[in-house]
């Protein structure tokens, strides 16, 4: 099984997504969105931008 995005509603009624690794572990989670479409747009943004993201190592 490949990694997958999961959309859900939180207790406040906002839409959120989490990215789960192939072993089921949550490896990323989002902010709250007011609509499902906005949440889906957030997923699309991660998909489009993650491969070119730089690492900000503050250690």
- Tell me which residue range forms the domain holding 43: 4-50
- End-to-end Cα, the chain, rounded Å: 33
- Which CATH number do you get for residue 39? 3.30.160.160
Counting the structural domains of the chain, the total is 1
Asked if residue 56 is part of any domain, the answer here is no
Q: Is 57 among the domain residues? A: no
Is 58 domain-assigned?
no
Tokens representing residue 36 in the block = 């499902």
Specify if 16 maps to a domain: yes
pLDDT, one tens digit for every residue, the chain (59 residues): 699 999 999 999 999 999 999 999 999 999 999 999 999 999 999 999 988 999 999 99
Q: Is the dihedral of CA 13, 39, 7, 57 positive or negative?
A: negative
């Amino acid at each position: 099984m490949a990694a997958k995005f999961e959309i859900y509603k939180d207790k406040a009624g906002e839409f959120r997504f989490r990215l789960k690794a192939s072993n089921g572990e949550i490896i990323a989670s989002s902010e709250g969105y007011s609509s499902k479409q906005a949440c889906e747009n957030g997923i699309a943004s991660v998909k489009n931008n993650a491969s070119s993201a730089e690492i900000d190592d503050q250690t």
